Amino acid sequence: MTAATVRRGTAFAPRAARIGLYVFLVVSAVFFILPLLLVIMNSLKPMEEIRQGNLLALPVNPNLEAWATAWASACTGLDCAGIRPGLWNSIKITIPSVVISTLAGALNGYALAQWKSRHANMIMLLITVGLFIPYQAMLYPTVKILSTVGMFRTYAGIVFVHIIYGLPYTTLLFRNFYVGIPDEISRAARMEGASFLRTFWSIILPISTNILVVVAILQFTGIWNDYLLGLIFAGNDNLPMTVQLTNIVGNSRGVANPNVNMAAALITAIPTLVVYFLSGRYFVRGIAAGAVKG
Amino acid sequence: MSSISLRKIKKSFGALTILHAVDMEIDKGEFVVILGPSGCGKSTLLNVIAGLDECDEGQIVIEGKDVSGLEPSGRGLAMVFQSYALFPAMTVRRNLSFGMEIAGTPKATVTEKVAWVAKLLQIEALLDRKPGQLSGGQRQRVAIGRALVRSSSICLFDEPLSNLDAKLRAETRVELKQLHETLGSTMIYVTHDQIEAMTMADRVAVMHKGKVEQFAHPQSIYEKPASLFVAGFVGSPAMNFLEGRMDDAGRFVTADVPIDIDGYAFEGARPSGEAVLGLRCEDIVVVEPGTPRSVPAKLAFTELLGADALGWFDCLGKRFSVRLGVEAARSMHKEVGLRFDMAKASMFCAVSERRL
ipTM > 0.90 for the complex: no
**CB-based contact B59:B4 (threshold 8 Å):** no
C-alpha closest to that of B46 among A200, A191, A194, A199: A191
**CB-based contact A228:A162 (threshold 8 Å):** no
Tell me whether residues A192 and B146 touch, CB distance under 8 A: yes
Given B88, B98, B102, which is nearest A207 (Cβ)? B88
- The answer to whether domain A84-288 has CATH 1.10.3720.10 is yes
Q: What is the mean pLDDT of each run of 10 residues along chain A (294 residues)?
A: 48 78 94 91 89 84 89 81 89 96 96 87 88 89 94 95 94 92 92 94 92 91 94 91 89 77 92 84 63 37
Distance from CA of B110 to the nearest CA of A (A): 14
**A49 contact partners, CB below 8 Å, separation of at least 6:** A57, A59, A60, A61
Reported as a single tens digit per residue, the pLDDT across B230-285 is 999 998 889 999 988 888 777 888 877 888 888 888 888 778 888 999 999 999 99
Query: Which chain B residues are within 8 Å of A202, Cβ to Cβ?
Result: 87, 98
**CB-based contact B145:B175 (threshold 8 Å):** no
**CB-based contact A1:A7 (threshold 8 Å):** no
Query: Which chain B residues are within 8 Å of A291, Cβ to Cβ?
Result: none
Query: Which chain B residues are within 8 Å of A198, Cβ to Cβ?
Result: 102
Burial class (CB in 10 A: 0-12, 13-18, 19+), B348: buried
Q: Which of residues 17-56 of B touch A (CB under 8 A)?
A: 50, 52
pLDDT given for residue A51 in this prediction: 85
Distance from CA of A217 to the nearest CA of B (A): 23
**B82 contact partners, CB below 8 Å, separation of at least 6:** A184, B158, B159, B160, B162, B163
Q: Which fold has domain B237-349?
A: OB fold (Dihydrolipoamide Acetyltransferase, E2P) (2.40.50)
Reported as a single tens digit per residue, the pLDDT across B283-319 is 999 998 888 888 889 999 999 998 899 999 998 888 9
Tell me whether residues B73 and A191 touch, CB distance under 8 A: yes
pLDDT given for residue A7 in this prediction: 52
C-alpha closest to that of B160 among B146, B141, B181, B178: B141
Query: Which chain A residues are within 8 Å of B72, Cβ to Cβ?
Result: 190-191, 193
Tell me whether residues A185 and B85 touch, CB distance under 8 A: yes
A35–chain B Cβ distance below 8 A for any pair: no
B104–chain A Cβ distance below 8 A for any pair: no
pLDDT given for residue A1 in this prediction: 43
Tell me whether residues B102 and A190 touch, CB distance under 8 A: no
CA distance A33 to A21: 18
SS3 string of chain B? CEEEEEEEEEEEECCEEEEEEEEEEEECCCEEEEECCCCCCHHHHHHHHHCCCCCCEEEEEECCEECCCCCHHHHCEEEECCCCCCCCCCCHHHHHHHHHHHHCCCHHHHHHHHHHHHHHCCCHHHCCCCHHHCCHHHHHHHHHHHHHCCCCCEEEEECCCCCCCHHHHHHHHHHHHHHHHHHCCEEEEEECCHHHHHHHCCEEEEEECCEEEEEECHHHHHHCCCEHHHHHHCCCCCCEEEEEEECCCCCEEECCEEECCCCCCCCCCCCCEEEEEEECHHHEEEECCCCCCCEEEEEEEEEECCCCEEEEEEECCEEEEEEECHHHHHCCCCEEEEEECCCCCEEEECCCCEEC
Bond into A85 cis (ω within 30): no
- Give me the total of CB pairs closer than 8 Å, taking one residue from chain A and one from chain B: 68
Given A182, A191, A292, which is nearest B78 (Cβ)? A191
Tell me whether residues A191 and B132 touch, CB distance under 8 A: no
C-alpha closest to that of B34 among B45, B23, B25: B45
Query: Which chain B residues are within 8 Å of A210, Cβ to Cβ?
Result: none
Q: Which of residues 206-245 of A touch B (CB under 8 A)?
A: 206-207
Domain residue ranges in chain A: 2-73, 84-288
Strands B335-340 and B295-304, bridge-based pairing: antiparallel
Start-to-end Cα distance in chain A:
22
Query: Which chain A residues are within 8 Å of B73, Cβ to Cβ?
Result: 190-193
Reported as a single tens digit per residue, the pLDDT across B25-35 is 999 999 999 99
pLDDT given for residue A15 in this prediction: 83
Tell me whether residues A187 and B52 touch, CB distance under 8 A: yes
Given B81, B103, B139, which is nearest A188 (Cβ)? B81
Given A184, A198, A292, which is nearest B85 (Cβ)? A184
Tell me whether residues A193 and B73 touch, CB distance under 8 A: yes
CB atoms within 10 A of CB B225: 25
Tell me whether residues B132 and A206 touch, CB distance under 8 A: no
| Helix (H) or strand (E) run with residue A289 in it | none
Domain residue ranges in chain B: 2-226, 237-349
B139–chain A Cβ distance below 8 A for any pair: yes
Mean pLDDT of chain B: 90
Q: Which fold has domain B2-226?
A: Rossmann fold (3.40.50)
Strands B65-66 and B154-158, bridge-based pairing: unpaired
pLDDT given for residue A78 in this prediction: 73
C-alpha closest to that of A166 among A243, A235, A99: A99
Q: pLDDT 10s per residue in chain B (356 long)?
A: 568 999 999 999 888 899 998 999 999 999 999 999 998 999 999 999 999 998 899 999 998 899 988 989 888 899 999 999 999 999 999 999 999 999 999 999 999 999 999 999 999 999 999 998 999 899 999 999 999 998 888 999 999 998 888 888 999 999 999 999 999 999 999 999 999 999 999 999 999 999 999 999 999 999 999 999 999 999 888 999 998 888 877 788 887 788 888 888 888 877 888 899 999 999 999 998 888 888 889 999 999 998 899 999 998 888 999 999 998 888 888 889 998 998 899 999 988 899 98
Q: Which of B47, B84, B98 to mutate to test the interface with A (most CBs of A within 10 A)?
A: B98
pLDDT given for residue A247 in this prediction: 87
Distance from CA of B73 to the nearest CA of A (A): 5
C-alpha distances out from residue B19 to A236, B15, B56, Å: 65, 12, 10
Given A191, A194, A206, which is nearest B89 (Cβ)? A206
- What percent of chain B is modeled with pLDDT above 70? 99
**A99 contact partners, CB below 8 Å, separation of at least 6:** A216
Tell me whether residues A192 and B99 touch, CB distance under 8 A: yes
Given A185, A193, A202, which is nearest B103 (Cβ)? A193
pLDDT given for residue A293 in this prediction: 40
B102–chain A Cβ distance below 8 A for any pair: yes
Strands B203-208 and B31-35, bridge-based pairing: parallel
Query: Which chain B residues are within 8 Å of A116, Cβ to Cβ?
Result: none
A192–chain B Cβ distance below 8 A for any pair: yes
A119–chain B Cβ distance below 8 A for any pair: no
